[in-house]
Amino acid sequence: MKKIALLLLIVTFAFVSCTDNFAVNTAFVKYGHKKGVTSITVPGFVVRLAAKIGDLEDEERELLRSIDKVKVLSVEDSYLNEEINLHAEFYQNMNKHGQYEELLNVQDDDESVTIFGKMGEDNETIKEMIVLVGGDDNALIYLKGRFKASMLDKHIDFSDPGDFLSFDF
């Protein structure tokens, strides 16, 4: 009986851990272990712990408490950045099944940035958000949780298109 319970637990964990976007998982598998690429996955309990112990304002603390998972893939190597373009490679697959809305798309010379969102049932809550950057710099940021778009508006500076992803934390 213990073996069956353990097997069910493992299978359940496997299904839950694979619920992320297919394109996000593909990018992490393909590039996550390459030299010159930084790959980070932070579970929600660690983010919420940081919200408790960090010197933050109430709004910042609320935003961090609403995050269940953070995954970041960043290409640091300049030669590898010239060879790949994460945006061009994964843009089409990001919304393959129509689950994500394109919330923002910025094209500037050789730089492309798109933010995708998966909205909650109330259409005011974002369940998942993906930031896809390609060109001279390549990055992919995946956030899973339940946060209101109004929380993000207060912390993202859209005034400078060249540096609009400068989070104000």
- CA-derived radius of gyration, the chain: 17
Greater pLDDT, 71 or 25: 71
What's the pLDDT tens digit per position in 10-42?
544 444 444 567 778 888 998 888 999 999 999
What's the pLDDT tens digit per position in 92-109?
877 676 778 888 888 888
Tell me the pTM. 0.76
Smallest Cα–Cα separation from 45: which of 21, 67, 18, 12? 67
Q: Where are the domains of the chain?
A: 22-163
Token pair for 166: 């400068």
Q: What is the pLDDT of residue 94?
A: 75
Q: How far is CA 146 from the centre of its chain?
A: 13
Which region among 32-41, 109-118, 132-141, 160-169 has the lowest average model confidence (pLDDT)?
160-169
pLDDT > 90 fraction of the chain, expressed in percent and rounded: 16
Q: What is the pLDDT of residue 141?
A: 92
Token pair for 27: 């990018």
Residue 104: φ, ψ to 5°: -155, 140
Q: How far is CA 103 from CA 11, 45, 60, 82, 141, in A?
A: 34, 27, 22, 27, 14
Angstrom distance (rounded) from CA 121 to CA 101: 14
Sequence-distant (6+) residues with CB within 8 A of 131 are 113, 114, 115, 139, 140, 141, 165
- Amino acid identity, residue 65? R
Angstrom distance (rounded) from CA 9 to CA 113: 38
Greater pLDDT, 4 or 68: 68
- Please return the burial class of 132, using the count of CB atoms within 10 Å of its CB with bins 0-12, 13-18 and 19+: buried
